[in-house]
Amino acid sequence: MKNLGREEPQEVQPDRRWIDLLLATGVLASIASFLYPALRYIIPPAVSESTSRSVVATRVGELKNNTSKVFKFGSEPAILIRTADGQYKAFSAVCTHLSCTVQYRGDTRQIWCPCHNGIYDLNGRNVSGPPPRPLTAYEAHVQGEDIVVTRSA
Amino acid sequence: MIPLVAWTICAPVPVRAQDSCVTCHAALEGSLAEPAKLYDGDVHHSAGLGCADCHGGNPKDESMNAMSPAQGFRGAPKKTQIPEFCARCHSNAAFMRRFNPKLRTDQLSEYLTSVHGKRLKQGDTKVAACVDCHSVHNILTVSDPRAAVYPLNVANTCARCHADAGHMKGYNIPANQFALYSESVHAKALAGGDTSAPTCTTCHGNHGATPPGVTSVPNVCGTCHAFNQQLFEKSPHQAAFTKMGLPGCVQCHSNHEIVKPADDWVGVGEGTTCVRCHAKGDPGYAAAQQMAGDIASLKTDYERAEEVLGTAERSGMEVSSAKMELTDANGQLIKARVNVHSFNPAEVRKLTDEGKKISRQAYLSGVGALKERDYRRKGLGVALVFIILAISGLCLKIRQIDSRTGG
Amino acid sequence: MAGLHRRVLDWLDERFGAGSIEEFLRHKTVPVNRHTIWFYFGGMTLFLFVIQVLTGILLLLYYRPTANDAFESVQYLVTQVKFGWLIRSVHSWSANLMIFTAFIHMFSVYFLKAYRKPRELTWISGMLLFFIVLGFGFSGYLLPWNTLAFFATKVGTDMARFAPFIGEWVLVFLRGGPEVTGATLTRFFGFHVAVLPGLATLLLAVHLLLVQRLGMSVPPDVERAIAEGRGKPRWMPFFPNFLLRDIIGWYAALGVLGALAAIFPWELGTKADPFGSAPAGIRPEWYFLFMFETLKLLPGKMLFIDGELAGLMLFGLAGALWVAVPFLDYKAGFSRVTRFFTGLGVFAIGYILAMSALALRG
């Protein structure tokens, strides 16, 4: 074993310290750059997860009879309708003609697409105008204080 | 024994009652045997009606006497007599109620108002009467896909005469409607299986077939294209066209060869529909210019947003929310195109402005996503710097240790 | 600082006997020769495995293993969770990197004949670990429940059908049913996070223990050179010399993983639809391509045996021979037998590369 180091301690000392400093800085900084993301990751985000299978559309009592609400379901708009007799119905709000977003009309009690006057009944069936297919129906249930819309099985 | 054999020979088809018409005519040749052969497939046959129910005579009489006027025989009607021949039952509501209460009984009265009906009354036998469209002896219901009057087959049936230049000579109307119609979106929709798409009879009527008059063309188109008709009627074009005696819709969209309209129809450039009538300086020209400009700029904004979101998505950023919101901008574009029929640039602008707003928001989301991507890459850069620092420190340390241990 | 360090070690030594471990580490050496570069790949594979465990545990905090929620939970993780994109992409990239380094480690050990006596069990435990790693790759691939993964799993598990006698049973066992469904996902999840890690830990313990006990092997050509006096035996201490070099490699791997995650993030794909049709050009991950291509090229029937069955038997036989190589090439010296096995190894690499290239060509 060569003993270069021990014979001239004064000359090697500052060298060694400088290397150690560089090493320590690099290692600590890099470890910090790994730990920082991991720690931020562990903290749950503010937006609670809504799966694309089930979404809380509204609270009980917020939606009046014969009105509707359009909300985001997965990556597409959906419509929740409270009929004149208090029932909740939910459908995909993507018109099957050219994908405009449909609306509920309280006067005719039908679902209507303002782009080309397509009309669907309250079962989602396309009854008039250009839409070639019915709207996809979803299930709406009351769960405690929430109205939850889920995709049908 | 012999009657039994005769029965089995002469009545090969199990008929409800012995029908001498069928027995004898089936044994004949050529056109005389045709009706007997075809009739099994006829809807009247399924309803329990036999030859004599239309032609009279006595189906129980096996002699030639079965066809005597004394027995009520009416024979085969002449061309000009056909409508009344069929209407004997088909205009009799009480009679028809026994078989199909839903069926209308006004076909004859409608027919008499039609061009075909009027000309037939004047003795023109080249025009269509009942059997020309519905065939005879093997008549099928309208809902039967094999019927000549099934929606998908109607145009072909009309074209039998109306596309035959020789047949149509002398009538002063073109013979190219079928060819033009076949190029239309309506024909293609029908061929695609959409039986609600219009065919000849949808616009011209079936029994009362007549071209719609000049003032009623928008009404006819408006039975499906309601929005466009409503907007058109409130637009300056309605009064102007009426004064000039021009039909609406058809001016820009044609009557038979109705093709998918394109955004570049609207505008003031060469080849646009508007400059066919409007010239620089008149208000219509300015309106066309503004509407075309607004729609074009909405499309530009929309495409810009779509592009940046696409780039962000391909870089691995998740932009499905922004993409969903952008589809509303497309909805505004679609509505703007419909609203062109108001020929009111301010109305169109309201829609395009809304669409542009949505597009801009989506664009900003996309830009934000790209910024996030760049932030990640900067973060990566920083981490790499630290890693390189650490590696350099390690290399030097290794050299130091190696020299110490003499390794 | 050094005093504290000493005091802690002494405290541990009184309770664990850590002193002997310390002594042992001080004496562990690594032979230095022109083949030493290959010695880093075992540690690299182990490091990447540790990365997998750590990122995997982090993913477990948000992932949901059911058909309805899996895809959405990954989507949520990648978009809403801070640095979720990083953890997920690192996990996916590191999986592939680990399998790659495992291949290199295996082949380098093979060519350097490190499997010869007394290291036969190290080789066998290593081969078992290799199969487990492939199992990790196969089970993990399904977990995001996207279209590609779904159909790749369908095709992959279909192969089990062709095993003689037990084929159907194996298929149902793997899939949790006759078809690939949510039950398959849950089951694969169980394999991926519990069964395989457990087995891997056991085998790793055996493998590492053996490596420590038996030391690092010196390649035959170096041994011969030393025996013939053409060279001197050179070595370096494992701790700290070799370890520091190891750590450089590990840092470089981290840098590569970070860059891959930021610049080539792992795709999310589209949610799997079991009733949809398979997209064109479905194929397994790259490390299975050579087997996939072989099965494609085999004729439907070979003599009286089903093509797929023949393929399975072929691979089974090849695998068994490969695992048994320490006993087949028992001298592993410079005999003709050894040269035959070296050639076999070259053929294996060539075959894998050629078949994979063919499969990629489509």
Place C272 in a pLDDT band, splitting at 50, 70 and 90.
Answer: confident
Work out the average pLDDT over C242-253.
Answer: 92
The phi and psi torsions of C34 (rounded to 5 degrees) equal: -70, -10
Q: Is the Cβ of A47 closer than 8 Å to some Cβ of chain C?
A: yes
Looking at chain B, how many residues does it have?
A: 407
Q: Which residue in C50, C60, C80, C273 has the most chain A C-beta atoms within 10 A of its own C-beta, making it the best mutation to test that interface?
A: C80
Q: Is the Cβ of C176 closer than 8 Å to some Cβ of chain B?
A: no
pLDDT of residue A103: 94
pLDDT in tens, B225-258: 888 999 999 999 999 988 888 888 888 998 899 9
The CA distance from B3 to A69, in Å, is 79
The CA distance from C286 to C97, in Å, is 11
Instruction: Please tell me the least confidently modeled range out of B69-78, C222-231, C254-263, C347-356.
Output: C222-231
SS3 B215: helix
Most confidently predicted of B28-32, B97-101, B343-347, C197-201: C197-201
User: How many CA atoms, within 13 angstroms, populate the side-chain half-sphere of residue C65?
Assistant: 19
Place B4 in a pLDDT band, splitting at 50, 70 and 90.
Answer: low
Instruction: Answer yes or no: is pLDDT of B346 > 90.
Output: yes
ipTM value greater than 0.85? no
Place B98 in a pLDDT band, splitting at 50, 70 and 90.
Answer: very high
**Residue A6 burial (CB count, 10 A):** 9
Cis peptide before B77 (omega within 30 of 0): no
pLDDT in tens, C25-57: 778 888 888 888 899 999 999 999 999 999 999
Q: Is the Cβ of C58 closer than 8 Å to some Cβ of chain A?
A: yes
The CA distance from B101 to B87, in Å, is 16
The CA distance from C31 to C39, in Å, is 9
Nearest to C68 among A43, A45, A53 (CB): A53
SS3 C210: helix
The phi and psi torsions of A69 (rounded to 5 degrees) equal: -145, 130
Query: Two tokens at B153?
Result: 């087959």
Please name the residue ranges forming H helices in A43-88: none
Instruction: Answer yes or no: is pLDDT of B378 > 70.
Output: yes
Alpha-carbon torsion (C19, C20, C25, C28), positive or negative: positive
CATH 2.40.40.20 fits A54-151, yes or no: no
Interface of B with C in 301-320 (CB under 8 A): 315-316, 318, 320
Token look-up 């290291």 returns C119
Fold annotation for B283-405: Butyryl-CoA Dehydrogenase, subunit A; domain 3 (1.20.140)
Place A11 in a pLDDT band, splitting at 50, 70 and 90.
Answer: very low
The answer to whether A4 touches A16, Cβ cutoff 8 Å, is no
Torsion of CA C196, C202, C206, C209, to 10 degrees: 120
The CA distance from C140 to B150, in Å, is 56
The phi and psi torsions of A142 (rounded to 5 degrees) equal: -90, 125
Q: Residue C361: CB partners within 8 Å, gap ≥ 6?
A: none
Among B315, B366, B327, A151, CA closest to C78:
B315
Residues of chain B neighbouring C264 (CB-CB closer than 8 A) = 316
Q: Do C244 and B394 touch (CB under 8 A)?
A: yes
pLDDT in tens, C279-320: 887 888 899 889 888 888 888 777 777 777 888 888 989 999
Q: Are strands A118-120 and A126-128 parallel, antiparallel or unpaired?
A: antiparallel
The answer to whether B332 touches B352, Cβ cutoff 8 Å, is yes
The alpha-carbon gap from A84 to the nearest alpha carbon of chain B, in Å, equals 27
Q: Residue C30 burial by CB count (10 A; 0-12/13-18/19+): exposed, middle or buried?
A: buried
What's the CATH code, domain C32-269? 1.20.810.10
Q: Are strands A67-73 and A76-82 parallel, antiparallel or unpaired?
A: antiparallel
Q: Is the Cβ of C79 closer than 8 Å to some Cβ of chain B?
A: yes
Work out the average pLDDT over A26-54.
Answer: 82
